[in-house]
Amino acid sequence: MKIAIYGGSFNPPHIGHVEAARSVYEQLRPDRFLIIPTNIPPHKEMEENSPSPQTRLELARLAFGHIPGAEVSDMEILREGKSFTADTVRILREQYPDDELCIVMGTDMFLSFCTWFRWQYLTEQCTLAVLSREADDASQIEAFRDKLVRECRARVVLIPHEPLPMSSTEIRAALREGSGAGLVPDEVYRHILHTGSYGVKTDLEWLRAQVRPYLKPKRVAHVEGVEQTAVKLAERWGEDAHTAAVAGILHDITKSFPAEKQLKLCEKYGIMLSIAERETPALLHALTGAELARELFGVSDAVYGAIRWHTTGRPDMSLLEKILYLADYVEPTRDFDGVKKLRKLCFEDLDRAMALGLRMSLEEIRARGAVPFRDTVDACAYYSQYEEEHSC
């Protein structure tokens, strides 16, 4: 039996790791393919904000789940301490005394192989499977292979593979900067968003693409307008613009869902509805949208609250909640009597704008013969009181 061993810190496991694993499987066709995240890598320090070994293990399981025959092992994490490959091979050799063990490594690790702990033991026990890129260092790789074969009777297999032209360090930086979604498998990226690992900021381009299928075509321009307006208001009033953009992109994610689906989502998420809410399912998208945004994209409590209250408002709203409520009201595609005045006021006095917007909303609701939500009435009273206290 041939057993391939692909170890690494996988911090995080990225598409380069996945493609490398695919190349290994296609070239070696191992009977078992063990992917083993390290506990503590012996050759480098882990960055301070790196996730726990258990989180990296879960990320690896998500990343390599589609590779044929791949098994993500926790043996080095359970062993604790520094993860020396020689120790792992010793344990596997005891379990599989007569089988072929193949250690998978990249070009850089191969060229530094003679610095590894008990490297001679590894050449005795294992085949070295080297992911060899077709680049300027090909002759150096072949020369070192020939040296190991000649002097140590090593067994070396070169696996043609072109690596991702970006290091794990650069990928972690991209995740912090909000541009790393395309560099890791989608399942891995979603888990990183949920855990907040690496100080991740949501990749807005990725998020827009994820949300687009939930929107009817005629709503796309509105959502784009809300995002843009929310960002401008955030910049004016000192809120984080990136967070405001996330809220704007997601605020109508369940708007297109029919009433029956809205009610089923409320049941799924344990949302208790009043009689008025059950009779007005068109407004339930704020409740279900907040929950779905958290489930799919791991949004913060601040974004959750902004989506939750963007239709009705409430007394004493957070800054982000007010920004999203008003951005939804005055974004560029909106055209109704008084919108220009309200739009201007949003950049002059946010709380006065809330008072005006809520009054306009109540007037419109009552003109339709509908009964307004209690939250909207209370919010209007709250911000009208502010307006009175700060009037000239």
Asked if residue 208 is part of any domain, the answer here is: no
Please state the rounded mean pLDDT for residues 97-116: 93
Q: What is the tens place of the pLDDT at every residue in 39-60?
A: 988 877 778 788 999 999 999 9
Asked if residue 83 is part of any domain, the answer here is: yes
- Structure pTM? 0.90
pLDDT over 60 at 169, yes or no: yes
> Which range (100-104, 328-332, 359-363, 365-369) has the least confidence?
365-369
Please state the rounded mean pLDDT for residues 248-266: 95
Asked if residue 177 is part of any domain, the answer here is: no
Q: What is the tens place of the pLDDT at every residue in 271-296?
A: 988 777 777 777 899 999 999 999 99
Which tokens in the block code for residue 121?
């033991």
Return phi, psi of residue 163, to 5°. -75, 165
Answer for the pair 244, 232: CB distance below 8 angstroms, yes or no. no
Answer for the pair 253, 232: CB distance below 8 angstroms, yes or no. no
- CATH number, domain with residue 21: 3.40.50.620
Residues 95 and 34 in one domain: yes
- Structural domain ending residue among the three candidates 108, 135, 166: 166
- Structural domain ending residue among the three candidates 141, 166, 191: 166
Residues 227 and 137 in one domain: no
Residues 150 and 220 in one domain: no
Residues 217 and 330 in one domain: yes
Task: Say how far apart CA 137 and CA 117 lie, in whole Å.
Answer: 24
Please state the rounded mean pLDDT for residues 291-320: 97
> Which range (43-52, 141-150, 312-321, 346-355) has the least confidence?
43-52
pLDDT score for 392: 56
Tally the domains of the chain: 2
pLDDT over 80 at 83, yes or no: yes
State the average pLDDT for the chain. 93
Long-range contact pairs involving 110-117 (C-beta distance under 8 Å, separation at least 24):
110/141, 110/144, 111/137, 111/140, 111/141, 111/144, 112/43, 113/144, 113/148, 116/85, 116/86, 117/42, 117/84, 117/85, 117/86
Asked if residue 176 is part of any domain, the answer here is: no
**Domain range for residue 310?**
213-389
Residues 224 and 139 in one domain: no
Asked if residue 192 is part of any domain, the answer here is: no
Q: What is the tens place of the pLDDT at every residue in 362-388?
A: 999 888 888 888 999 999 999 999 888
